Amino acid sequence: MAMMRYAEALNAALREEMQADPSVFLFGEDIGRYGGVFKVTKGLMEEFGQTRVRDTPISEQALTAMAVTAAMTGTRPVLEIMYADFVPLTLDSLVNQASIYNYIWNGQVKMPFVLRTQGGGGAGAGAQHSKALDSMLAHIPGIKVVAPATPADAKGMLKAAIRDDQPVVFLEHKLLYNVRGEVPEGDVTVPLGKAATVREGGDISIFATSKMVVEAAKAADLLATDGVSAEIVDLRSLRPLDVNTIVASIAKTHHAVVVNEGWRFCGYAAELSATIMDHAFDELDAPVARVTLPDMPIPYSEPLETAMLPSAEKIRAAALKILK
């Protein structure tokens, strides 16, 4: 095991996959000489050259169309979109091209394309640089959407995403880049579509991804002082969703809190709640609780932003409410 920051783990995954497969190349805004806005691609242009690590103009729509074309013609592009807020500019290529080609050509066309981006609040970045748009992306059939919470999962899942023959949207969180953790050395991948139970408990299940797993862990510590044993399931993958692990957890605790940093209305938390009702209704002793953003833009003001974001205290309150 090696101790790495989340950003370093991503960098290691990119380096290892580029060393192993000459068809892998990177492109995006400021990823080359500058090393990326969060330094995830630092040093890769120097190692692999400007052909395989390409700085590009600011045109997310054109970049995604380039990635789709490159994937169709035998390479494995990894595109970085600097902020998730700009992902809506990519939707024509994602919705009308990347997500459907495997289906409409009966599996004859592969689409090995990874779109890396980061989002989420808590950094005072304002309404145009803080969105979590995972529900919008997970809504699209034909695209895999993952959101690792730890350095180990970040590395292992990025390696798996690059090797996948379907398009994968790889969601990172700006507040996780400096989080440190143990990362397996060597060629270790983490399967997409498999959740992880990161804390065992018997009274209530908390389901989360990305930065919300950190908040869930804090909430579990708070709940322990209330005499409540909370289980935490890190979904890791939003689509495909590991329903079996979700159902197994609820069968043990009979209570569920769903945490997501997206908006509440038509959000991923609503979809996950419906999935739980579809597959584990008879196991529930209370309604599923949701902890999400309210339906409004994220403010620049630090006190207002903090008040909006899902937090350990909000998760604790939601859990205690349904345990009454």
**Structural domains in the chain plus CATH codes:** 2-183 (3.40.50.970), 196-323 (3.40.50.920)
Task: Say how far apart CA 216 and CA 222 lie, in whole Å.
Answer: 10
Beta partners for residue 76, in sequence order: 24
First to last CA, the chain: 43
Q: Largest Cα–Cα distance in the chain?
A: 60
Specify the DSSP class assigned to residue 56.
-
Q: Tell me the per-residue pLDDT of 73-132, one tens digit each, with 9 for 90 and over.
A: 999 999 999 999 999 999 999 999 999 999 999 999 999 999 999 999 999 999 999 999
Report helix angle 151-163 to 6-20, nearest 10: 30
SS3 state of residue 205: strand
pTM, two decimals, is 0.97
Q: CA 9 → CA 12, 177, 297, distances in Å?
A: 5, 9, 31
Catalytic site positions? 60, 129
Residue 265: Cβ within 10 Å count: 10
Averages of pLDDT over runs of 10 residues in the chain (324 residues) are 96 98 98 96 98 96 97 97 97 96 92 97 92 96 98 99 98 98 96 98 98 99 98 99 99 99 97 98 98 96 96 99 96
Q: In the sheet that 24-28 helps form, which strands lie side by side, from edge to edge? A: 53-55, 24-28, 76-81, 114-119, 168-173, 144-146, 237-239
pLDDT score of 160: 99
Task: Say how far apart CA 64 and CA 306 lie, in whole Å.
Answer: 33
Helices (H) and strands (E) in the chain, counts: 12, 14
Q: CA 164 → CA 9, 40, 75, 143, 266, distances in Å?
A: 19, 21, 12, 11, 29
Task: Say how far apart CA 33 and CA 45 lie, in whole Å.
Answer: 7
